[in-house]
Amino acid sequence: MTRKRVAVLISGRGSNMAALIAAAKAPDYPAEIALVLSNVPGAGGLAIAESEGIATATIDSKAFPRDREGFERAMQAVLEAQRIDIVCLAGFMRILTPWFVGRWEGRMINIHPALLPAYKGLDTHARALADGAREHGATVHFVTPEMDEGEIILQEAVPVLPGDTAETLGARVLAVEHRIYPAALRMIATEYRLI
Ligand code: GRF
């Protein structure tokens, strides 16, 4: 079995990244986490990746003011140097241009903390609570140029419980995220064929 080489792109604490790293330790997992790339220097997830012996890279998006594509070209160079097959966005807080998304069409996925197509964008837990939603959840989807719009790979619902706050609901959703992201990566790493 040739394992697909995966880059996880992060901006923060990296708990989904850690879940992917843990899952990829299984001998039959069809992907290896070859690189963790952060656009934020010192992002918490970088230290976790380093402690797991995984290659890391930081490309500070603030060093590319008003030059989104310059930032992405720098990322693309690192991804190509590392011979990456699949990109997983995991709390990566940058909007990507059609140029970069096009480079990774069908090979880049994202985890979103809501049951898409409901609650695209930010503050999903607070918005679900404000609406009186009865259920909420998480979605893994392919990345397309329109934010949170791509084809859904996996999603799972959780109940909204009486007395929930954005924090308690978010924690319930996060537990689901940590389960479905590795499962979705397993699916696409198995089915995806190098073009
Ligand atoms: C997760 O809730 C993810 O769904 C969203 O950003 C958060 C990242 O958390 N896109 P973490 O860095 O993976 O812990």
Known catalytic membership, residue 141:
no
Q: What would the pLDDT profile of 90-144 be if each residue is shown by its tens digit?
A: 999 999 999 999 999 999 999 999 999 999 999 999 999 999 999 999 999 999 9
Q: What would the pLDDT profile of 57-71 be if each residue is shown by its tens digit?
A: 999 999 999 999 999
Q: Which domains does the chain have, with CATH numbers?
A: 4-191 (3.40.50.170)
Nearest CA to ligand 1 atom 1: 91
Locate 14 and state its tokens: 């990296």
Does the CA dihedral 147-149-150-156 come out positive or negative? positive
Please indicate, yes or no, whether the overall pTM of this predicted structure exceeds 0.85: yes
Q: Which residues line ligand 1 (CB under 6 A)?
A: 10, 12-17, 90-91, 111-113, 174, 177
Number of Cα atoms under 13 Å in the Cβ half of residue 170: 10
Average model confidence (pLDDT) across the chain = 96
Residue 195 has pLDDT above 70, yes or no: no
Q: Is 95 annotated as a binding residue?
A: yes
- Return d(Cα 6, Cα 106) in angstroms, integer: 13
Peptide bond into 117 cis (omega under 30): yes
pLDDT on residue 8: 99
Alpha helices (H) along the chain = 15-23, 44-51, 68-81, 98-103, 124-130, 166-191
- Return d(Cα 126, Cα 74) in angstroms, integer: 35
The angle at the Cα of 180, spanning 25 to 126, to the nearest 5 degrees, equals 130
